[in-house]
Amino acid sequence: MGKKDNELTKRQSSNFSALTGTNVSIEGPEAYSGDQKNLLAELPENIVCAKTALLPGAGHIIGKCYIFPEDAAKMLVEYMIKEKSGFPLDEMAASVFSEVIAQFVNCQIDYLIEKTGDRALVLDHPETACFSKDQKTDLAAYLSAGKVFINRYKMSCKDSAADYKFWEIYDNNSPEVKKIIEITMGSDAIVYAKAIAVVKKAEELDPSEKGNAFAMLCGAVCRKPAGEGQCVFNPYVKSLLPKDVASAMPDMICRELKEFMGSR
């Protein structure tokens, strides 16, 4: 999968750097749609989560959750409080982590206000929780059970040799969520997320069924309506696909996939 750096991510890198007093770089995000099962399979053993919500003036409340590996969360907190932190985070460390996430999301809100002029969007202050490898059932209950939209970031710090992944999870695929994704990441992000969802599904299939799954992918990334002849692929999306999939795309013809993929 690929990623596309953007103006907002650069601002959030600067924000984290200012908060911690060291040079923090955030890359991505990689966007994809999925469900709780997909998400749980890729998370590390011990994690720190912060739940929050964007509260629009009208429309759906947009629930969000941020998930950091234990060592990444502790690194940020330790830079802030200037002392070592344990796991699970104690009350003070959890409060500091909530503030880090609040600053990250407020940076996003400021960006959305700049782009839309809509000042109605406000942040519900994050609440932090920690989950160990023995608490997967509790984590499953904590996370949204339905379809979610996931952004996966990479974070690095000049004082650490490690790169860290962290996840931003929107708890639904509502029009409000899609609007935010398109404003902050570009219109290609929604299309790319659908393409990745189909690739993930194809990986679970018997080899004899993969052709049909990739035909669905064809429908996800094609600029023409389904059933209207030769595909015209979104170049950015195609560049992000696995090479074996991308190389097969030019020979595929659109199918009646509009109902399956949903409207774009």
**pLDDT value, residue 161:** 74
Measured distance CA(87)–CA(171) in Å, rounded: 26
Please tell me whether residues 204 and 80 are part of one structural domain.
Answer: no
**pLDDT value, residue 102:** 94
Domain boundary pick from 171, 186, 201: 186
Task: Count CB atoms within 10 A of the CB of residue 24.
Answer: 23
**pLDDT value, residue 261:** 41
Contact 65, 106 (CB under 8 A): no
Please tell me whether residues 157 and 243 are part of one structural domain.
Answer: no
Please tell me whether residues 124 and 197 are part of one structural domain.
Answer: no
* Within-domain flag for 2: no
**pLDDT value, residue 259:** 36
- Residue 44: is the preceding peptide bond cis (ω within 30°)? no
* Within-domain flag for 1: no
pLDDT digits (tens, 9 = 90+) for 165-195: 999 998 876 777 777 877 887 655 655 566 5
Please tell me whether residues 172 and 199 are part of one structural domain.
Answer: no
Mean pLDDT for 89-108 is 94
Measured distance CA(75)–CA(225) in Å, rounded: 48
**pLDDT value, residue 240:** 52
Structural domain including 216 reads: 189-261
Could you tell me which residue, 68 or 219, shows the higher pLDDT? 68
Please tell me whether residues 141 and 80 are part of one structural domain.
Answer: yes
Please tell me whether residues 64 and 92 are part of one structural domain.
Answer: yes
User: Pick from 48, 54, 73, 50: which is nearest to 127 by CA?
Assistant: 50
Could you tell me which residue, 245 or 170, shows the higher pLDDT? 170
Q: Are strands 122-131 and 24-34 parallel, antiparallel or unpaired?
A: unpaired
**pLDDT value, residue 252:** 41
Burial class of residue 74 in the structure, from the number of CB atoms within 10 Å of its CB (0-12 exposed, 13-18 middle, 19+ buried): buried
Indicate the pTM of the whole model. 0.74
Could you tell me which residue, 79 or 252, shows the higher pLDDT? 79
Mean pLDDT for 3-26 is 85
Residue 104 confidence (pLDDT) above 70: yes
Q: What are phi and psi of 261, to 5 degrees?
A: -80, -20
Please tell me whether residues 66 and 136 are part of one structural domain.
Answer: yes
Please tell me whether residues 52 and 11 are part of one structural domain.
Answer: yes
**CATH number where 123 lies:** 3.40.1550.10
Residue 26 confidence (pLDDT) above 90: yes
* Domain count for the chain: 2
Measured distance CA(238)–CA(221) in Å, rounded: 8
Measured distance CA(218)–CA(42) in Å, rounded: 26
Please tell me whether residues 164 and 224 are part of one structural domain.
Answer: no
User: Pick from 75, 64, 82, 63: which is nearest to 16 by CA?
Assistant: 75
Please tell me whether residues 229 and 137 are part of one structural domain.
Answer: no
pLDDT digits (tens, 9 = 90+) for 119-168: 888 888 999 999 998 898 898 888 877 778 888 899 998 877 789 999 99
**pLDDT value, residue 164:** 93
Contact 128, 90 (CB under 8 A): no
Whole-number average pLDDT of the chain:
76
Please tell me whether residues 217 and 111 are part of one structural domain.
Answer: no
Q: Which residues are paired to 219 by β-bridges?
A: none
Domain boundary pick from 136, 163, 186: 186
Q: Which long-range contacts (CB under 8 A, 24 or more apart) does 236-242 make?
A: 236/4, 236/188, 236/192, 237/188, 237/191, 237/192, 237/195, 239/2, 240/1, 240/2, 240/192, 240/195, 241/195, 241/199, 241/217, 242/199
Contact 128, 48 (CB under 8 A): yes
Mean pLDDT for 216-223 is 53
Please tell me whether residues 140 and 18 are part of one structural domain.
Answer: yes
Q: Are strands 62-69 and 47-55 parallel, antiparallel or unpaired?
A: antiparallel
Q: What are phi and psi of 19, to 5 degrees?
A: -65, -40
Judged by average pLDDT, the poorest of 16-30, 67-81, 240-254 is: 240-254
pLDDT digits (tens, 9 = 90+) for 65-93: 999 999 999 999 999 998 888 899 999 99
**pLDDT value, residue 253:** 36
Domain boundary pick from 186, 213, 229: 186
Tell me the chain's radius of gyration from C-alpha atoms: 19
Residue 33 confidence (pLDDT) above 60: yes
